[in-house]
Structure 1
Amino acid sequence: MATNNSSEYAIEVNDVTMIFNMASEQLNSLKEYFIKLMKHELFFNEFRALKHISFKVKPGEVVGLVGTNGSGKSTMLKVIAGVLEASEGECVVRGNIAPLIELGAGFDLELTARENIYLNGALLGYTEKFIDEHFQEIVDFAELPDFVDMPMKNFSSGMVARIAFAIATITEPDILIVDETLSVGDVFFQEKCERRIQSFIDNGNVTVLFVSHSIEQVERICTRAVWIEKGDLRMDGPVREVCDAYRAQFA
């Protein structure tokens, strides 16, 4: 996608490398870790989760990230969402992001669902008045009216996912980032979430980055795919071509 006007892109990932330092030996407790650290006996190995990744996404594009477990897909989404800062390179994002990356992130599980709707909504930039106006809509979409005043520590991961998705998608964001959220919970709610995402796509105003272990789901939702394997950008192109190549690799 060549262009002279970079502002045409909603997302620009430019030569991004993500490095994590991992302890070179297995430690059995936090106490053992700090003792070795204080004695300068702890050594680290460098792990490159992403290696010089570059791609661009235009507004309204629906892009799936595919790759085997541990290949860097979720790390890439966290860099784009601003959860992680790239070790090298840069990521430029234009527009507000609704990130559905880690279930429960932004929630205080000691609080009730009602309280967390206001808390998480505030983190996403919603005003209290806006939440007041859309509170029932959020609860209805999540299908949890009988649990709204229950502490969320008692919720299943599927119930947390329902609340998180309902809050993040109550309005159309500029950029929606979805990482495995649709794999949690029952198939009927997954389909409901897919329909909401599809409605955003049909309107053509929302840029979507989507990660799923289901290649069929990526093909169904996305128009383009980026294949990241062991931290390397393997392929970027039309969703069917990339997914076919990905399947062939492991056939």
Structure 2
Amino acid sequence: MAPALAVEELTWRIGGRAIVDGVAFAAAPGELLAVIGPNGAGKTSLFNLISGLTRPDSGRILLGGRDVTRLAPHRRVRHGLGRTFQTSSVFPGLTVAENVQLAAQAAVSGPIGALAVWRRIGGPARDRAADALERTRLAHRARALAGALSHGEKRKLELAILLAAGPSVILLDEPMAGMAVEEVPDLSELIRQVHRDGATILMVEHHIEVVLGLAERIAVLHHGALLACDRPAAVVDDPAVREAYLGEPL
């Protein structure tokens, strides 16, 4: 079986400096792989390459065995890739349900069709949206404006939007960023459930407790290169990883 996602010798440079330097790893179908590293290690740049926002200088990106290296971001979405960003990205003037329905309709009819008919959502899209809201425990907030949600609820809404699109591979770029301490366990449990439901997840996250509680393997970036990729216990005990963090807690 082909990996759900594989990157092969992926490299991206700015002014001769390698921001992502020959990174290679593969995520198995249904695996939750965390990506960690000190600030400036290249984690978000790696996600930008995988999602198509940046074109690599060399290397390949394979999604379910298909080479998507030269595909535009929206075409990668059509092939099953979904992503969240460090900052919340929702339509604040639409309701929670409308945000999710728009994503569901885009998955069913494409982005142009979604913009044309989103106010009269069809059966398959409506069912997708309702399921995503239930899975993220937002059904009771369906009629609320997205802009009125708390930060933690917006993070859940972003996850609901992703689920409505039906991705097979999900990139979560610091999902806990900016969240209140008391909100972190709830979102962590939602991510765990999405993983249990079969999604392949790559997650960049600075909360090491969250990483150790969720990840099956951890990839460590340092100066753009892959320093380690192993089970959490092995990564925590790796002297090179500890040295790279210069005393940051693992």
SS of residue paired to 1:191: helix
Match of 1:19 among 9, 13, 17: 13
TM-superposed CA distance for 1:52, in Å, is 1.4
The answer to whether the 8 Å contact 1:178/1:210 transfers is: yes
Match of 1:58 among 21, 28, 33: 28
Alignment pair present for 1:48 and 2:18: yes
Alignment pair present for 1:148 and 2:143: yes
In the alignment, residue 199 of structure 1 is paired with which amino acid? Q
In the alignment, residue 80 of structure 2 is paired with which amino acid? N
Alignment pair present for 1:97 and 2:90: no
TM-superposed CA distance for 1:213, in Å, is 0.4
In the alignment, residue 98 of structure 2 is paired with which amino acid? E
The answer to whether the 8 Å contact 2:4/2:27 transfers is: yes
RMSD: 2.9
In the alignment, residue 10 of structure 1 is paired with which amino acid? A
Q: Distance in 1 between matches of 2:196 and 2:155?
A: 23
Give deviations 1:142-189, integer Å, cap 9, x for gaps: 547457353x44555433212111222358642122121134434454
Match of 1:81 among 46, 51, 54: 51
Alignment pair present for 1:120 and 2:90: no
Q: Distance in 2 between matches of 1:19 and 1:59?
A: 30
> Given the two structures, how large is their TM-score scaled by the length of structure 1?
0.72
Structure 1, unaligned stretches of length 5 or more? 1-6, 21-44
Q: Residues 122-137 of structure 1: matches in 2 within 5 Å?
A: 122-123=105-106, 125-126=107-108, 128=121, 129-137=123-131
- Partner residue of 2:185? 191
The answer to whether the 8 Å contact 1:78/1:101 transfers is: no
- Partner residue of 1:210? 203
In the alignment, residue 230 of structure 2 is paired with which amino acid? G
Structure 2, unaligned stretches of length 5 or more? 65-78, 110-120
- Partner residue of 1:163? 157
- Partner residue of 1:41? none
> Given the two structures, how large is their TM-score scaled by the length of structure 2?
0.72
Alignment pair present for 1:175 and 2:169: yes
TM-superposed CA distance for 1:19, in Å, is 2.6
TM-superposed CA distance for 1:88, in Å, is 1.8
Q: Distance in 2 between matches of 1:138 and 1:188?
A: 23
The answer to whether the 8 Å contact 1:138/1:167 transfers is: yes
TM-superposed CA distance for 1:108, in Å, is 3.6
The answer to whether the 8 Å contact 1:103/1:164 transfers is: no
Give deviations 1:84-106, integer Å, cap 9, x for gaps: 3222211111261232234444x
Change (3 A) 1:83 1:156: farther
In the alignment, residue 180 of structure 1 is paired with which amino acid? E
Q: What percentage of residue pairs aligned between the two structures are identical?
A: 19
State the aligned residue count: 217
SS of residue paired to 2:152: helix
Alignment pair present for 1:222 and 2:215: yes
Higher-Rg member (1/2): 1
The answer to whether the 8 Å contact 2:130/2:139 transfers is: no
- Partner residue of 1:23? none
